[in-house]
Amino acid sequence: MKKLLTGVLSVAIMLSLLPVQASAEEAKQPWTNETLIAHGLGSIYGQTLTNSYEAFLVNYDKGYRVFEADLILTADNELAARHDWYQYLSERLQPTLPEHLKNGPLTLAEFKKHKILKAYKPLDLDGILEILVKYPDVYFVTDTKSEDPAVYKKQFELIVKKAKAIDPALLDRIVPELFEIDMIKDVKQIHDFPNYLFSIYMTGYTEKETIALVKKHNIKAVAMPVERATASMIDGLNKLGVPTYVHTVNDPYQVKRLQQIGVHGFYSDYIDYSTPMAPKLANAGTRLGGNVAAAR
């Protein structure tokens, strides 16, 4: 009976998360049509936060179209797709780095020289822009980490400058994750992105303050950690017509619970549109299957 209930729940969750089938018009659809965001470009063979090119390919193949990428400044002021520069992550993700380089920012050249988990291609801003060119149905959410105006202004100036040099329209598919109202204002001065995500995990705003700020500033989407996704918070934002994304959720029962209080979408490492808990539905939708081989 337990196995049966698990199977039924898994099918129900997958059907509720399944995106619209791919079509010629897909790239024109609002990014918030998607209910899943691949956290750190999603997991690859059980490994998380790799932010690697191969992780993108694997999770694109599973149906993801919105990808969260960690973007931080290198020692030479470029942007690398890495969560942080601390030693613990260097030892896990880039163990071939010399010991004296494992704690602290790397140059971009040094970062790109050492494969992730000795196997996968590290991504920088240029690599992410190349993906956007090649995959017109993909959006990137940028987690730039810093609340320091001097840092995040430099980050977004780089993003805007490099994207405009290739194709200004790419900026329409970059979704800045912004942490404060002042940060929203500052980034708008650099470029008025048509899409952005107000992420409250770094703030101490109360529920009432959050809802009031979203209404006052006409914010279109909000992200939050699981512990802040209360029924009253979600209900208040839903009444404003604002979709909510909760992070990071890897338990299908938690997905179901949060959906029941009105949460729209989820950042996840493992849950995807081809969840192995519902194998008969793995090929549902024309976007699922075969994309990794096609992308290589």
Neighbours of 115 (CB within 10 A): 16
| pLDDT exceeds 60 at position 58 | yes
What are the tens digits of pLDDT across the range 215-271? 999 999 999 999 999 999 999 999 999 999 999 999 988 988 999 999 999 999 999
Q: What is the pLDDT of residue 32?
A: 95
The answer to whether 18 touches 262, Cβ cutoff 8 Å, is no
Q: What is the pLDDT of residue 273?
A: 74
Q: What is the pLDDT of residue 220?
A: 96
Q: What is the DSSP letter of 88?
A: H
| pLDDT exceeds 80 at position 197 | yes
Mean pLDDT of 150-155: 98
Residue type for position 198: F
Q: What is the pLDDT of residue 31?
A: 96
Share of the chain above pLDDT 70, in %: 83
Share of the chain above pLDDT 90, in %: 79
What are the tens digits of pLDDT across the range 159-188? 999 999 999 999 999 999 999 999 999 999
**Whole-number mean pLDDT of the chain?**
87
| pLDDT exceeds 50 at position 69 | yes
What are the tens digits of pLDDT across the range 41-51? 999 999 999 99
Q: What is the pLDDT of residue 23?
A: 43
DSSP-derived secondary structure for 213-251: HHHHTT---EEEEGGG--HHHHHHHHHTT--EEEE----
Residue type for position 129: L
Range scoring the smallest mean pLDDT among 88-102, 149-163, 273-287: 273-287
Q: Kindly compute the dihedral angle of the four CA atoms of residues 130, 132, 133, 137, in this order, to the nearest 10 degrees.
A: 150
Q: What is the pLDDT of residue 275?
A: 58
How far does Cα 171 stand from its chain's mean position?
Answer: 15
What are the tens digits of pLDDT across the range 9-31? 554 454 455 444 344 455 568 99
Confidence of residue 153 (pLDDT cuts 50, 70, 90): very high
